[in-house]
Structure 1
Amino acid sequence: MNKKPILSVRNLEISFSQYTKGLRRIDSKAINNLDIDLYKGEILAVVGSSGSGKSLLAHSILGILPSNANLKGDIYYKDEILDEKRKEKLRGKEIVFIPQSVNYLDPLMEVGKQVKISIKDKKKSNTILERVFRKYNLDKKVEKYYPFQLSGGMARKVLLSSALVSNAEVIIADEPTPGLDEKSLNEALKDFRDLADNGCAVLIIT
């Protein structure tokens, strides 16, 4: 018997309402008639050119589309409709996002504290944080840094760290490797493979 996908997207259409100089409204389509199935224990790569709407797919699953976006179609998580209320409940817990932009980091919070938010076992949070930072060659003092003190590559490693310690069931990674040195890039790809081998479903947008 075929296993069921943990996440399914059916007939997804995303368009944006825009107004011309004459205040005439037009809808510009960014995604049309898209279907995907994501399974536990597997990595699914969505590949496309810049501006083709790949990030919008991630944002639609997470419920973080801009206000002028119009979404049609259905998204299912564990065989139940993933509506906006459910997206908000699961986002950052069961479904974790590694964003393309490092600007998602909170500029007013130490990065170590931001990673610890994703750790469920609070009693072991210091040990887990130290382990994942060591994995990505981040010095212990980095946990006390604020995002503005990080290089682009360091910020990318912090975002990866937050996802890896989350014990999420689905990880959606939007261009997760730009700015990484070769060793860290290979480590990140290995980590995604290990996560999938341990039952996580990974969607990589690239």
Structure 2
Amino acid sequence: MSDPLIIAVPKGRILAEAAPLLAAAGIEPEAAFTDEGSRALRFATSNPGIDLIRVRAFDVATFVAHGAAHLGIVGSDVLAEFDYSELYAPVDLGIGHCRISVAEPAAMAEHDDPRGWSHVRIATKYPHTTQAYFAARGVQAECVKLNGAMELAPTLGLAPRIVDLVSSGRTLKENGLVEVAVIAEVTSRLVVNRAAFKTRPELMPLVEAFRRAVDAKVAA
């Protein structure tokens, strides 16, 4: 009997949105999965041939690309940033809607015109995406890599602008920042390891189950 398929799912907000799709695809995790006091990272499911692992959103793509997991749920922002050739993304799950945006202090934005930029210094966890976006517009982007607390960068003088995920915009507003450009709209995708897709025939029906779950959600 083959080892169980492993699905990597992200911690946090996206996990709550993904849960109904997992259930619709016939995957119900064990009780410990929703136990906030549990420190476990790997969980059995109602399907003995499928286990779940819960990791950081940015790490989902890495686990799947390197074959440590067979499938995963990951934002298109992460896929664009890492551009792993080992990943196949067959289904847009239609969850996790947000955007990657450029933001700066509101006072700066009052007299700033992005069309006049020639060089920018940006704090971001998306250096590849940021540099590609600005290079396409003839702007040189100097990126300062941060993994969190991006909104502090302008106020503490680390960088005058940031590139980060934006959903409601509340965090930006509370830190005196405003969006001045949208780099990309983001949704979460089902990703599959390409090598596993060729060698594990049970992956195809699972991908189709997710596709049907998304179609049913849209039709509802």
Range of TM-score over shorter length: under 0.3
TM-score between both structures, scaled by the size of structure 2: 0.25
Q: TM-score, normalised by structure 1?
A: 0.26
Greater C-alpha Rg = 2
